[in-house]
Copies of this chain bind each other. A is one copy, B any other.
């Protein structure tokens, strides 16, 4: 590991010597108000990231072969995993299985910050086709939730 032995937390979601990065390139995929920080490039073979979704923001609706192991670190929001919505708050654990549609949204009044572990070597996310979006929207609960 190339990281220093100790990096202090400065405030919730901010650390000494951890850069705040773009979530994705603008225009690459739909998202709103998300930042990304890499806490450990190699955490036992995984990459350990922290994402922060601004109030009313959302991550990209996508799926991929690799899994996500998630812990909410602060704030609250909701997430789609597969065909269900889940309310999430501090310290909750979320598992996103392979090839499962998922999207995280922060509450309107609170940011959502979460840890997310992925394999260092992983496939690129797939975006839903118009047909797949229509299938998700067949459920009115999901139709009201998803952002594309």
Residues on A facing B (Cβ under 8 Å): 1, 3-9, 12, 15, 18, 39-40, 42-48, 66-67, 69, 71, 73, 81-82, 84, 86, 88-97, 115, 117-120, 122
A71 touches B39 (CB 8 A): yes
Question: Nearest CB to that of A84 among chain B residues?
Answer: B5
Question: Is the CB–CB distance between A95 and B15 below 8 Å?
Answer: no
A18 cross-chain contacts in B, Cβ below 8 A: 93
Contact across chains for B43 and A81 when beta carbons are under 8 A apart: no
Judged by DSSP, the binding face of A is strand
CB–CB A9/B90 < 8 A:
yes
Tell which of A1, A117, A122 has the most Cβ of chain B within 10 Å.
Answer: A117
Say yes or no: B67 contacts A1, CB within 8 Å.
yes
- A5-B84, A7-B93 given as contacts; is B44 within 8 A of A120 (CB)? yes
- The answer to whether A45 and B46 touch (CB under 8 A), given A1-B97, A5-B94, A91-B9, is yes
Kindly report which residue of chain B lies nearest to residue A8, judged by CB atoms. Answer: B92
Structural contact, A44 and B66, CB atoms closer than 8 A: yes
Which residue of chain B is the closest to A91 with respect to CB atoms? B9
Complexed CA–CA distance, A90 and B1 (Å): 22
Taking a contact as CB atoms under 8 Å apart, the answer to whether B43 and A6 are in contact is no
